[in-house]
Every structure is written in structure tokens, then in C-alpha cells.
Amino acid sequence: MAQVIINRLKKTFPPPTKDGDPVVAIGDISLEVEGNVFVSIVGPSGCGKSTLLNILSGVETPTSGTVSVTEGGRAAHLGYVFQDARLLPWRTVMDNMLYVRDDGDAGETKATRYLDMVGLSHTHDMFPGQLSGGMQQRVGIARAFSVEPDLLLMDEPFSHLDAITARSLRDHLQELWSATRKTVLFVTHDVVEAVQLSDRIIVLAPGGRIFDDISIDLPHPRRATDPKVATLQAEILGRFEEMHPAPATA
Amino acid sequence: MTDTVAESIQGDLGQANVLRTAAGARRRRYVLVVLGWLVFIGLWWLLALWVGSEARLPSPGRVFQEIVAILQEDFWAQFWASIVRVVAGFFAAVLIGTPVGLLMGRSKYWSNFLQSPVVVAGSIPGLTYAVMAFVVFGISFWGPVLAVGLIAMPYVAINVAEGVRGVDRRLVDMSTAYGRNERQVFRHVVIPSVLPFVFAGVRLSFSLAWKVGTLTEVFGSSKGIGFQIRRNYQLFNMPGVIAWVLLFVLFMLLIERFILVRLERRLFRWRQWERET
Ligand SMILES: Nc1ncnc2c1ncn2[C@@H]1O[C@H](COP(=O)(O)OP(=O)(O)OP(=O)(O)O)[C@@H](O)[C@H]1O
Ligand SMILES: [Mg+2]
């Protein structure tokens, strides 16, 4: 249950070619998120979604503006699920789980419990290369939950997966989230997915600005086939069409 | 989870197939290796018949007798003398080459600064190092060590630099996001990614180092395989020269096959499952 405060955040990257312009990844974002909420960030490709999560997790630094991620006054613990699984290929599944913990072997029980929750306790001693892409992604999810973070960052965790695996993982995620109730920032370009999972949807426009901020008041867990969910999905997709995202400049 | 079960069954079948064909391929390879040797010995034998002079080209049988004699005599002492120098030289090469490579891989500045000397050092013929080592140290233990060290160092440095440049940025970012400190990243991300490259450098330069070490012994030593080759040559003992050369080749192959390759497999067990992603 963390508190995230983003104040007039800007991020530009150096120009990709010698005489080009700097790339504006985030134009100007101010945002506050607090409590046990599931917040989705949606928007077209290149509008700075991953960059935002990277700044929140300390992987990138802001060009200007500030971010603070706290939990009761101290810096919040983070879990991060990436677009790709990002496991160390030279360590077994369990060793990958233990790598992000500081309690050594003592953490093994906890790590095992979360591996179990994603249905992968039998892969304990396997190397990531022995698992399918979907299984690796599940280990990545278990790893993020196992550090029992105050804030969970997820960057299109299901976008590389087939529809069936993605659907079952989405259900999994809802279960896990209901059981643990933490603050989640979930990046996706799938509006349908966002509506099913979140309490609040932040829509980013190209150039890294907030285009829309939508609350969704339906009880969890939600089924993708629930008619109420489907109606909302259609409505929000309609709003999206107003945005007319320009194709990313080459 | 039915999809997982299906997956693992398929995985098992796949693995069995791979094993079966792998065993077949291995058998075929052994047959070819043996055949290669037989053809080589056969040609040699014919050539020796045609030359008809033991002082110029002894027959395989004669050389074989010599090999047996050498093995019963002082082969191990001489072999040991050579291998100790090669290993010592290698150790020096890794000791110097690793930090040089780390610097080159980490910063553009150091890379530009060190690139040319390292490449030049790597392209100088082994004979030059051998002569140089002899000039500096005369007949001594350190001559061959220096020559081996100099020849192997650039390979180690260049490979380490390659390895450092190849460290997966995404894994470093993951570590940062999970609050891992620099020491942990170095130990658990950088070293494991660089190690295979160091190993490749060692394997690449091993035969070169072994050759230069022996070459240096030819004139800069009073012990070792190189020295034995020269001694037999001076005694006009052609079977002796060829026997030592063959033993040299044989042991190089054995060390490469049975020590280096096995060590590599053991160290990098995880690599057999690595896939393109
Ligand atoms: N490390 C970097 N160096 C230079 N430019 C970068 C870097 N990271 C991102 N960018 C640029 O910043 C912009 C936003 O990138 P970002 O990855 O945040 O987009 P995204 O919204 O996550 O897109 P996608 O949905 O395709 O993942 C892009 O134009 C990208 O080229
Ligand atoms: Mg992204």
C-alpha cells in the first residue's frame, strides 16, 4: 500500500542521430496514486509507458520534475514484472527467486510459496532455458510478488504470450492481487485487459502526456466475459478513437 | 494445468529425439576421426617407402618404437617442464588480460587507448616473442613463460572486452529495480556473462601458447619438449624428432579435448538450454 507522487515529470533522451532532435519520452506528467488500487496505464507505442516505470523504479533518472514512491514515510519496496521475463539464464528458477531477496536461504519458503501460486513449484531446480516463454513470465511474476512489494510495477507482462495463456495469467493475477492487495501500476496497450483488471485507467497520449483519467467501479475479480465489463470496454474504446494517435515518427 | 502437462510431454519426446541423433552423430564422428588417422599414417608410410631413407623420413613403425622408448624414459619429466611454463604464462596472461579487457569493455576512452596495442600484440608472429624472450632471459624458466604470456594476453583481453560489452543491459536494469548493489550485479550478472568469453579466449589461444612455449624452448631452454626436439635434431635422430613432435601434438589434443572442453561443459551447464529469444 504505497503512495506514488509524480510531479511535473519530464524525460528526454539524447537524439538518436547527430543532427536530430532529442526524443521526448515523457512530456509533462503529474499524477498521484495511493492505497490498494490497481491502476492501468494505457497508450499507443512509444508514449513513454516503460520509461515512466523505469523512472519510478530508479532504473532511469528524470530530466526534470520529481517522483516519490513511499510507504508510511520510508522508501517503498518494489516488485517489477518486465515485458520479457528477465531471469538470469545461469541460475536455476529458485536461485533467480532468491537473487532479489536479502534473506538468503531463509527466503526459500517464501519463494516456494509464490512459485506454487503460479503453478511452477516443480521447476524449482530448472534453468530458465528449460521453461517455455509463458512459464518464464510466470516466474517473473512470482519473483515480483515474492518480495512482497508495497508497489508492484508491471510492464505489458502478457503481451508476448498467446491469448489462452494470457487469459489464464490474468485470472491468476486477479487472484494474487485480491489475496495480497498492494498498489499496482500496470502498463498495457490492451484497453480490454485494462478494463477487466483496473480500478483506474490513465490514458497517455503520444509525447508522454496524460490524455484521460478514468475510474472503474466494479467489484473484483472480474471475468472477461462479464457483460458489464464488456459494455465499459466498448465505451472506453470509443473515447480512445477521439485521440487519433499519430503513427510513431521514424 | 493441461497446457503445462502437454508442454512437458512434448519436451520429453523432443529431448529423446535429440539424444538419439546426438549419439548417432557422435559415433559417426569417431569413425571419421579414426579413418582420418589411418589415412594419414598410410600416406606417411607410402611416402617413407618412396623416400627410402630413415635419416630423412623414418617409417611410422620406427617412430612408434621411438615413442614407446621416450614414454618409458623421461617423457613425463620433459612434458611436465613444458606444461608448467605454459600454465604459468597463461596465468600471467589472464591476470593482466582480464583487467585490460574489463577496462576496454567498460569505457570507450580506454578501448580506443588500448585497442591498437592489443591488436598489434596479437598479430606479431609467435617466433618474435620466442626470440625476444630468449634475448631478455637467455636460457631460463622465465623465457617461455614470458612468450606464452605475451601471445595469450591479447586474446584474453579482447574476449573479456567483448564479454563485458555483451552484458545484457536488461538484466542490469532488473537488478537495479530490485535494489541489488554494484557488487551483487558484478558477481551475479557481469562475471557469469563474461566467463564464457574468457574461456573462449583461453581455448583459442591455448594451442598458440603451447606452440610458442615449445618454440621458445627450442633455443631458450635446457628442458621441455621443444628442447628435446632440438637435441634430437642435432643428433640427426629423425625418428626422435618426429616422435617428440607427434607426442606434442597428441598431448595438445588430449588437453584440449579432455580438460578444456569438459571444464567448459561443466561450468556452463546452463548454456545447453539457452535459446534465442
Ligand atoms: N534508453 C533509451 N534511449 C533513447 N531513447 C529511448 C530510451 N528508452 C526509450 N526511448 C525512447 O523514448 C520513447 C518512449 O519509449 P518507451 O519505451 O517508454 O515507450 P512505451 O510507451 O513503453 O512503448 P511500447 O508500448 O512500445 O513499449 C520512445 O520514442 C523511445 O524510442
Ligand atoms: Mg514499453
| Ligand 1 nearest-atom number relative to CA A60 | 1
Q: Provide the grid cell at A147.
A: 518480495
Q: Is the pLDDT of residue B161 over 60?
A: yes
pLDDT, residue B263, reads 82
Q: What residues of chain B lie within 8 A of the CB of A79, using their CB?
A: 178
Supply the pTM of this predicted model.
Answer: 0.79
Which of these CATH numbers, 1.10.3720.10, 2.40.110.10, 3.10.50.40, 1.10.260.40, describes B60-276? 1.10.3720.10
Cβ contact, residue pair B173, A129, below 8 Å: no
A162 CA → ligand 2 middle, Å: 18
Window from A70-79, B58-67, B240-249, B263-272 with minimum mean pLDDT: B263-272
**Which of A141-150, B89-98, B137-146 is the least confident region?**
B137-146
Q: Where are the beta strands (DSSP E) in chain A?
A: 3-13, 23-34, 38-42, 64-71, 74-75, 78-81, 151-155, 183-188, 200-205, 209-215
Report the b/e string of B49-69 with b at 16+ CB within 10 A: eeeeeeeebbbeebbeebbee
Minimum-distance ligand 1 atom for the alpha carbon of A208: 14
- How confident is residue B9, by pLDDT bands cut at 50, 70 and 90? very low
Give CA–CA dist A220/A186, Å, rounded: 16
Instruction: Please list the rounded mean pLDDT of every run of 10 residues in chain A (250 residues).
Output: 92 90 93 94 91 95 95 90 94 95 85 89 92 91 92 91 84 85 90 91 91 90 85 84 57
What is the A48 CA–ligand 1 centroid distance (Å)? 6
How would residue B276 be classed by pLDDT, with cut points 50, 70 and 90? very low
Taking only residues 10 to 69 of chain A, the set having a beta carbon closer than 8 angstroms to any beta carbon of chain B reads 54, 57-59
Chain B residues in contact with A133 (beta carbon < 8 A): 277
Please give the pLDDT value at position B230: 87
Question: Which ligand places an atom closest to the C-alpha of A204?
Answer: 1
Chain B contacts of A100, Cβ < 8 Å?
178-180
Q: Is the pLDDT of residue B20 over 80?
A: no
Task: Give the pLDDT of residue A137.
Answer: 92
pLDDT at B13 over 80: no
The overall average pLDDT reported for chain B is 83
Superfamily of domain A1-77+150-157+181-218+227-240: P-loop containing nucleotide triphosphate hydrolases (3.40.50.300)
Distant-in-sequence, close-in-space partners of B17: CB < 8 Å, separation ≥ 6:
none
Hey, where are the domains in chain B?
1-52, 60-276
- Least CA distance to B175: which residue of chain A? A100
Q: Is the pLDDT of residue B188 over 90?
A: yes
CB-CB: which of B3, B177, B273 is closest to A78?
Answer: B177
Beta strand pairing call for A74-75 and A64-71: antiparallel
Work out whether the CA dihedral B121, B126, B130, B132 comes out positive or negative.
negative
Atom of ligand 1 at shortest range from CA of A52: 18
- Residue A199 pLDDT: 94
Q: What is the pLDDT of residues B23-40, one digit of tens each?
A: 788 888 889 889 998 999
Q: What's residue B15's pLDDT?
A: 53
Write down the residue that cell numbers 502526456 correspond to: A209
**How does residue B257 score in pLDDT terms, banded at 50, 70 and 90?**
confident
Partner B contacted by A148 (CB < 8 A): no
Pocket of ligand 1 (CB under 6 A): A 13, 23, 25, 45-51, 189
Which amino acid residue places its CA nearest to atom 19 of ligand 1? A46
pLDDT at B277: 43
pLDDT class of B17 with cuts at 50, 70, 90: low
Of A176-180, B9-13, B102-106, B185-189, where does mean pLDDT reach its minimum? B9-13
Chain B within 8 Å of A125 (Cβ-Cβ)? no
pLDDT attached to residue A63: 96
Average pLDDT in the B259-271 region? 81
Q: Pairing mode, if any, of strands A64-71 and A209-215?
A: unpaired
| A165 vs B: CB within 8 A | yes
Q: Is A65 left (phi over 0), alpha (psi -120 to 50) or beta?
A: left
Most confident of A38-42, B147-151, B201-205: A38-42
